[in-house]
Amino acid sequence: MNYKFTKDFAIQTDASDALNSYRDKFVFPEHLGEKALYFTGNSLGLMPKKVKEYLNEELEDWGKFGVEGHFESRRPWYSYHENFTKMMAEVVGAKENEVVLMNGLTTNLHLMMISFYQPTSSRYKILCEKKAFPSDQYMLETQIKHHGLDIADTLIEVGPREGEETIREEDILEAIENNKDELALVFMGGVNYYTGQLFDMKSITECAHKYEITVGFDLAHGAGNVLLNLHDWKVDFACWCTYKYLNSGPGSVSGVYIHESHTSNTELNRFGGWWGHDKETRFLMEPGFNPMPTAEGWQLSNAPIFSMTPLLASLELFSQAGIKALHHKGQLLSGYLEFMVDEINIDLTEKLEIITPREKSKRGCQISIVAHGRGKELFDKLTEKGVIADWRQPNVIRMAPVPLYNSFEDIYNFGVILKDSLK
Ligand SMILES: *Cc1c(COP(=O)(O)O)cnc(C)c1O
C-alpha cells in the first residue's frame, strides 16, 4: 500500500475497506464526545454492542427457567461451551475436538503443565523466552518447584543478543539443539507481549519434535491477531485469554488447544473434574474418572455462562469477517502506523524507535515504540488528547491497531497528535 500522511488518504482507504463497517459494532470509550483513539485491544478488547443483548437473554432465561435453564434455555447451559468450539477452532487453526474454553489463562497453563511436563532425571529442562510475561514466569517457576527441581538448572531462557531487542529464531533453534537430550518442554509466547515479535511456531515445533520434546505456546497475544495453524504445525498444546484481541470482556474465559494425538490418551497425567467426564454418564455420579476423548476432557467445572456470553458476540464477528481478512487489514493498519512514525522521525533529532520487527511476517498488528529521551510526559500528553495506548516504564508505548474496530483515520489522527506532542 502506498501510504500518505494525509487525512484524505486515510478517509479514502477506510471508504474502500470492506471491514470498515465492523467498527460500528463496538462501543468506544469517548473523549470530548468523540470516539477515543483506542489502541489497547492487545490489553482489553472493546465491547461488541451485541453483548448486552446476549447477556440479557441469559439473565432472562435464568429468571424464567431457574435450574431448568441447563437444558431448557435458548442456549442450554449444559452444553454451553460447545457454542464456541467451531468459531474458536477456526481462529486458531485447530480441529473442533482440539479446543475448549474454560477457566483463566494462567490456571489453564498450570493444568497443561500437569499433563505435558513430566520431568525425568535425565529429561527435565524447559526452554522459554527471556522476559516472558510475568504470569508465565511465575507459572514456570512454581511448576519447577512443585517437581522439587532447581530453577537455575531447569529453566533455559533465550533472549535477544547484546544490543538487540528481538530474539533471533536461529538462537532458539540452536538452544533446542544444544539441549536436545535434557529438554522436556519448549514453552513460550507465540507473540511476545512486549515487542510484538511473532515466532515461527511451525519451525520451533518441528525442531523440538525431532527430539521428542513437547511444545506449548501461550497465545495471549496471538489468538485473534495472527494466522495460526496449530493442528497442522503439530503444536502439542496452547492456551490464550479471550479478553485481549478476542473482546470477551475483563477476566473472561481462556481458550485451550490440545493436539488430537493427545486428547484421547487417558494415560496422560491430568487433574480431573466432573465437566471433563464422559457427557453421557456424567450424571450417574459414579466413581472412576472417564474423560471425554477431546480437549473437553480437561474441563473441571461447569461453564461460567455470564463470563462466556460476551465471547459469543465477538466470535460471531470473527466468523463473519474471517480471520484471514482481519489479519490482512491488521497488517495494513500496523504498516500505516509504522509509516507514520517513520515520517515523524524525519524532523526529529532524537528519533522514535520501533522495536517490533520490521518484517510483516514477524509480527501481528502491535507496534512497540521506544520514545527515547522522553518520559511519561509524552504519554500523558497523548492521553490528554484522547489517545488510549499502553505505557511501559521507562519509555515504551505499545499500540495495537485492531482490524475489527480501528480505522486508517484513527491512525492518521494519532499521527497528528503524536507529531504535535513531540514539538
Ligand atoms: C495477558 C497475558 C496473561 C494474563 O494471564 P491471566 O491468567 O489471563 O490473568 C498471561 N500471559 C500472557 C503472555 C499474557 O499476555
Answer whether 103's CB lies under 8 Å from 300's CB: yes
CA 44 / ligand 1 centre spacing (Å) = 11
Q: Report DSSP state, residue 218.
A: E
Q: How far apart are CA 83 and CA 52, in angstroms?
A: 18
- Predicted confidence (pLDDT) at residue 158 exceeds the cutoff of 90: yes
Answer whether 165's CB lies under 8 Å from 392's CB: no
In this prediction, residue 375 carries a pLDDT of 79
- Predicted confidence (pLDDT) at residue 188 exceeds the cutoff of 90: yes
SS3 category, 102: strand
pLDDT tens per residue, range 13-37: 999 999 999 999 999 999 999 999 9
Mean pLDDT, to the nearest integer, of 322-340? 97
Mean pLDDT, to the nearest integer, of 211-239? 98
- Predicted confidence (pLDDT) at residue 417 exceeds the cutoff of 90: yes
- Is residue 238 within 6 Å of ligand 1 at its C-beta? no
- Is residue 104 within 6 Å of ligand 1 at its C-beta? yes
In this prediction, residue 373 carries a pLDDT of 86
Confidence of residue 393 (pLDDT cuts 50, 70, 90): confident
Return the bridge partners of 241, or none.
254
- Predicted confidence (pLDDT) at residue 101 exceeds the cutoff of 90: yes
CA 358 / ligand 1 centre spacing (Å) = 25
The helix (run of H) or strand (run of E) holding residue 146 is helix 134-146
List domains and CATH numbers for the chain.
Answer: 7-48+322-421 (3.90.1150.10), 55-320 (3.40.640.10)
pTM of the model: 0.97
Tell the residue nearest (CA) to atom 13 of ligand 1: 133
In this prediction, residue 335 carries a pLDDT of 98
pLDDT tens per residue, range 111-141: 999 999 999 999 999 999 999 999 999 999 9
Tell the residue nearest (CA) to atom 10 of ligand 1: 135
Alpha helices in 218-367 (DSSP H): 230-233, 260-263, 305-321, 323-345
- Is residue 242 within 6 Å of ligand 1 at its C-beta? no
- Predicted confidence (pLDDT) at residue 98 exceeds the cutoff of 90: yes
Task: Classify the C-alpha dihedral 411-416-421-423 as positive or negative.
Answer: positive
- Strands 214-218 and 237-241, by their bridges, are parallel
In this prediction, residue 279 carries a pLDDT of 87
